[in-house]
Amino acid sequence: MKKYINRSIFYALLAMVGGVFYREFTKIMSFTGTTALGKVHVHLLVLGTFVYLIAALFSKQINFEKEKSFKVFKYVYDVGLLLTVIMLVVRGITQVLAINISKGLSASISGVAGIGHILIAIGFISLLLSFRKACE
């Protein structure tokens, strides 16, 4: 349980850093439009902090850590979340700084973020399957 709470705290701190960076960076750059940086805080808070808090709560009631699907969650989910957040930051910085990037680079950023989202989905479904299997 403690390791999930620690992971939740880690993501909560990252979420706060992401939120402060978004607010301060856009203010310093006098940027008033919408940017992908605004989504970093929410992604980290909900997909990082809350998911691991839920896992911590379930770990007190059921032993899902022994399930094979949980191992998939452990290795895939964090990679997907961090990959997604990194691409949101990259996209957001280019938007705020009004950097003209090529269509290929723009597509690459979107593609890598998409892969991150797919990994998050695989990890999350694996976590839910491990909960279900442990309850049988």
Backbone region of residue 98 per phi and psi (left: phi > 0; alpha: psi in -120 to 50; beta: other values): left
Q: How many domains does the chain have?
A: 1
Per-residue confidence (pLDDT) for residue 60, from 0 to 100: 86
Answer for the pair 68, 113: CB distance below 8 angstroms, yes or no: no
pLDDT at 74 over 90: no
Give the residue from 123, 54, 53 showing the smallest Cα distance to 82: 123
Q: What is the pLDDT of residues 22-68, one digit of tens each?
A: 999 999 999 999 999 999 999 999 999 999 999 999 998 898 998 99
Give the model's confidence band at 113: pLDDT under 50 very low, under 70 low, under 90 confident, else very high: very high
Domain boundaries, position 84:
2-135
In angstroms, the CA 110 to CA 108 distance is 5
pTM of structure? 0.92
CA 91 from chain centre, in angstroms, equals 15
Per-residue confidence (pLDDT) for residue 136, from 0 to 100: 82
Q: What is the mean pLDDT of residues 81-94?
A: 98
